Amino acid sequence: MKSIEKVLVIFGGSFNPPTNSHFSLAEQIYCSFDEVEKVIFMPVSDAYPKKDLLEAKYRVKMLELVCKLNPHFEVSTLEVDSPVLLSSIDTLRRMQKAYEDHEIWLVLGTDNLKVMTSWTCYKEILEGFRCLVLEREDDILEHIIEQDTLLKPYKDRFIKMKESIHSDESATLLRQKLREGKSIRYMLPDEAYFYIVEKGLYTVVPTSHNKIGNNNIL
């Protein structure tokens, strides 16, 4: 049973495209913490400086197609709809204002944690919000904090979780397979898979693995 104190977890990313590992991780987060009410997917805007970033309207649609099947998942277009590129603190401030009766947690990997003190208003983030940190590869949260004198005073603001699959690498591999005309079936939810093939996204090459017939992939 969920506790009275409500928490919303902000899961930001390019979701280019959203893969099974993204949703598996979100489900793991929801099931691991009783206080978590929802995991909110926050796709970056088209202004985000990332190579080969698919237009936001397609990334949002794929997320929506999958998230509508899970009452604990939600998609926010806060960053996508913004006329300017939002920093993490901008997003968090706006989300907290919209959900004043909730505590807000931010998901980040240890790769981002290592450079977090270079972020705009990083102290405000750590003082006002909690960070759900995904330990990647051989990274150990406690060691990173211990070695960074700027992070050390905020060690109680971090919650750790082991990420078994690096979701960004999974998405990169998926895009590469699409360009090569290889099957990506079962690497992402069917709802997103059908949408990619139907729209011809990521310059998908039609093959015997990627065909649509009566709304089904053969």
For 60-104, what is each residue's pLDDT tens digit?
Answer: 999 999 999 999 999 999 999 999 999 999 999 999 999 999 999
Distance between CA atoms of 143 and 51, rounded to whole angstroms? Answer: 32
Domain boundaries 7-165, CATH class? alpha beta
CB atoms within 10 A of CB 185: 12
Q: What is the pTM of this model?
A: 0.89
Please report, for the chain, the start and end positions of each structural domain, with discontinuous segments joined by +: 7-165
């790769």: which residue's tokens?
111
| Burial annotation 4-40 (CB, 10 A radius, 16+ → b, else e) | eeebbbbbbbbbbbbbbbbbebbebbbeebeebbbbb
Residue 178 has pLDDT above 90, yes or no: no
pLDDT at residue 185, rounded to an integer = 86
pLDDT at residue 168, rounded to an integer = 62
